[in-house]
């Protein structure tokens, strides 16, 4: 496994080194109007206009009810509605669904995903993520990690990682405990690799991609990238419970643990809580005519 330290990456030198390789930055988004504009604007100004490193900025909008799409478009992104990409596959919701659809919609050689709720974004996130892929043709996947300080609400970040993902990975996928943030949404990968992998439709997607990539390509073709400090919107426990459920389901499913046919999460009152543990197949396995529709 390649481990990169927290060092500044010269985007000009990286743009020169990329040759004919094309790079897209994608932000899967649902109701992120408050933060997405400044992220898109920074990428466009620094990595498209000032330095020709990024060839496309794409926002995959997952049925936002706010002005996410309008704000992103005004900042310079190409905005695609998740429901309108690959329509033959049907409509589903979820972060993983938006990421899967982005691989179908984007034809760049390298895709870098950045979470749309970052409040401290700098373009070094992008340059550090794509550097291992542009410098080493052997590398197929780069996973970001970062320090997670206590937020303005007094809550530490990474609760699902430390209370659910890390214990489950320690039991079933111990080789992956070397990754500080297995649930990190900051990922860059070769499209040729991504199109051959299944995608969890919900919040299990980030750890599922890590597990599946290492299983197929091996640790030596994956990079762990230090992104410094990351601050984003902390979520309350009632929103973290479904996320934790989906993450745990993705990990256990990939460990061949027998799971209920229709898994359910219930709250303390015994009421069902909506979760998304559906999976999408590898894009390479889909009928070619679906992509022409």
Q: What CATH number corresponds to the domain at position 252?
A: 3.90.550.10
Q: What rounded mean pLDDT belongs to the chain? A: 92
In a domain, 8, yes or no: yes
On whether the CB atoms of residues 228 and 147 are closer than 8 A, the answer is yes
Q: Give SS3 for 179.
A: coil
Q: Which two tokens stand for residue 61?
A: 């909008």
Rg (the chain; Cα; Å): 18
For the chain, the domain total comes to: 1
Q: Give SS3 for 56.
A: strand
Q: What is the mean pLDDT of residues 269-281?
A: 95
Confidence grade of residue 237 (pLDDT, cut at 50, 70, 90): confident
- For the entire predicted model, the pTM comes to 0.92
**Could you read off the pLDDT of 247-270 as tens digits, one per residue?**
999 999 999 999 999 999 999 999
In a domain, 92, yes or no: yes
Residue 231 has pLDDT above 80, yes or no: no
In a domain, 273, yes or no: yes
**Could you read off the pLDDT of 163-188 as tens digits, one per residue?**
999 999 999 999 999 999 999 989 99
Domain with 105, as residue range(s), is 2-284
Residue 5 has pLDDT above 60, yes or no: no
Rounded CA separation 183/43 (Å): 23
Instruction: Pick 210 or 158 by higher pLDDT.
Output: 210
Residue 51 has pLDDT above 70, yes or no: yes
Q: What dihedral angle (degrees, nearest 10) is formed by the CA atoms of 178, 181, 182, 188? A: -100
In a domain, 216, yes or no: yes
Rounded CA separation 180/132 (Å): 18
In a domain, 201, yes or no: yes
In a domain, 292, yes or no: no
Q: Which two tokens stand for residue 143?
A: 């996973």
Confidence grade of residue 152 (pLDDT, cut at 50, 70, 90): low
Rounded percentage of the chain residues whose pLDDT exceeds 90: 82
Residue 230 has pLDDT above 90, yes or no: no
Residue 218 has pLDDT above 70, yes or no: yes
Q: Give SS3 for 3.
A: strand
In a domain, 289, yes or no: no
In a domain, 291, yes or no: no
Residue 283 CB burial class (10 angstroms; 0-12, 13-18, ≥19): buried
Residue 141 has pLDDT above 80, yes or no: yes
């Amino acid at each position: 496994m390649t481990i990169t330290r927290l060092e500044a990456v010269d985007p000009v030198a990286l743009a020169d080194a990329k040759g004919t390789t094309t790079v897209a930055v994608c932000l899967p988004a649902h109701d992120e109007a408050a933060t997405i504009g400044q992220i898109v604007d920074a990428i466009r100004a620094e990595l498209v206009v000032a330095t020709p490193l990024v060839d496309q900025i794409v926002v995959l909008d997952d049925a936002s009810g706010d002005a996410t799409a309008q704000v992103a478009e005004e900042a310079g992104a190409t905005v695609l509605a998740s429901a309108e990409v690959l329509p033959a596959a049907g409509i589903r919701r979820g972060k993983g669904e938006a990421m899967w659809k982005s691989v179908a919609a984007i034809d760049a050689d390298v895709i870098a995903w950045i979470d749309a709720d970052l409040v401290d974004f700098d373009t070094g996130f992008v340059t550090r993520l794509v550097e291992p892929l542009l410098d080493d043709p052997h590398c197929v996947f780069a996973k970001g990690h970062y320090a997670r300080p206590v937020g303005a609400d007094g809550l530490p970040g990474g609760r699902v990682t430390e209370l659910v993902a890390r214990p489950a990975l320690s039991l079933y996928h111990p080789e992956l405990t070397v990754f500080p943030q297995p649930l990190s949404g900051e990922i860059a990968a070769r499209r040729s690799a991504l199109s051959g992998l299944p995608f969890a439709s919900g919040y299990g997607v980030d750890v599922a991609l890590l597990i599946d990539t290492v299983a197929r390509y091996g640790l030596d073709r994956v990079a762990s990238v230090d992104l410094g400090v990351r601050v984003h919107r902390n979520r309350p426990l009632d929103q973290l419970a479904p996320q934790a459920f989906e993450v745990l389901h993705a990990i256990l499913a990939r460990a061949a643990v027998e799971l209920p046919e229709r898994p359910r999460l219930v709250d303390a009152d015994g009421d069902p809580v909506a979760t998304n543990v559906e999976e999408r197949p590898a894009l390479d396995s889909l009928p070619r005519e679906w992509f022409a529709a």
